[in-house]
Structures are given as C-alpha cells and as structure tokens.
Amino acid sequence: MLVRHAIESDLPAMLEIYNDIIANTTAVWHYEPHTLEMRTEWFNQRREQGFPIFVAAADEQLLGFSSIGPFRPWPGYSKTVENSVYVAADSRGKGVAKLLMPPLIEAAIELKLHAIVAGIEAENTASIALHQKFGFVEVAHFKEVGWKFERWMDLKFLELIL
C-alpha cells in the first residue's frame, strides 16, 4: 500500500468513497451525495489554502484519503485545523486509516500549526480509537447536535496539541 499526495485524477475515486460514507455511515452528516464539481472545488480550496490531501492506494485502487483544513474561518483559529480520514467500505479494518494519519500530523507540524481537532460521531468507536492511538485526547462531548438516519447523534471533539 502506498500513501501519497492526492492528484486531480484521484477525485472520482475519492468522490465514490465519500458518497458511500454519506449514504451508509454517520461519519459525515450530509444527506445528499456530492458531485464531482463539489469534490473538485473542495480539492482546489485545500490546495489554495496550502493544506495537503493524502491518498492510500494499492494496485492502482484508491483505498482511502485524508486531509486537514480550517477548523473555523476566523483569524484567531489559523493555527488550528480539523482532520478528516475516509476509507472505502471494503478496506475498513485493514490498517488504511493508520497509514493516512501520520502524514497529516507531519504536515501540520511542517506548516507550524498548533492543534488538530477531530469531530467524530460519538458511537464511532473505531475512529475514536484510531485518533487516540495517535495521541488525540477527547476534549468535548456534545449531546444530540446532529440528525441523520432518523435519530439524534452526539459529537465528540478530540484534539492533538502538536
């Protein structure tokens, strides 16, 4: 498995992974699938902002992707980012996410950032455990702040001080 910087030709596979996550998980609280134009705009914004996007691939198949981006849009938060890690359904539980985390942390350090925040649905124990493995600590638990699949969801914030 190879982890590398994402390139524009990765976008269709990234979109497929993201839309499956929208449709079948609580990792993303969107209701409708995204379009290739939306994913391209996201990709270009990350590049313009200087934030990396990484992909994990094996045998030319994209298995997952990760990124960091703005935590909140105000200048006082400019040294804090939020991370995202998404893995294709048939590749979950195979160590893909563990390979996508270190380059994010290394990139944040190189960018001289101070903190990474992860917003995770409270019942997503696999994602919480993944982040804790890399030193993230739970700092907040918001009750019933999200609605998806006809139920209320809690949101946990985990943080890594770099």
Number of domains making up the chain: 1
Average of per-residue pLDDT across 34-61: 97
Q: In the predicted model, what is the mean pLDDT of the chain?
A: 97
Task: Give me the mean pLDDT over the 79-108 stretch.
Answer: 97
- 51/111 Cα distance (integer angstroms): 9
pLDDT at 64: 98
The arithmetic mean of pLDDT across residues 3-18, rounded, is 98
d(C-alpha 52, C-alpha 69), whole Å: 8
| % of the chain beyond a pLDDT of 90 | 98
Alpha-carbon span 25 to 92, nearest angstrom: 12
Identify the DSSP state of 30.
-
Q: Which amino acid is at 42?
A: W
C-alpha torsion angle, residues 74, 75, 78, 80 (rounded to 10): -50
pLDDT at 67: 98
Report the C-alpha gap between 98 and 94 in whole angstroms. Answer: 9
Beta bridge partners of 124: none
Query: What is the rounded distance in angstroms from the CA atom of residue 36 to the CA atom of residue 47?
Result: 16
**CATH at residue 116:** 3.40.630.30
Alpha-carbon distance values, 28 to 3, 56, 61, 96, 138 (Å): 23, 20, 22, 18, 19
pLDDT exceeding 70 applies to what percent of the chain? Answer: 100
Indicate the pLDDT class of residue 154, thresholds 50, 70 and 90: very high
- Domain range for residue 152? 2-161
Q: What one-letter code names the amino acid at 36?
A: L
Position 60 scores a pLDDT of 86
Q: Distance (Å, rounded) from C-alpha 9 to C-alpha 149?
A: 32
For residue 97, the model assigns a pLDDT of: 97
Please write the tens of the pLDDT for every residue from 107-124: 999 999 999 999 999 999
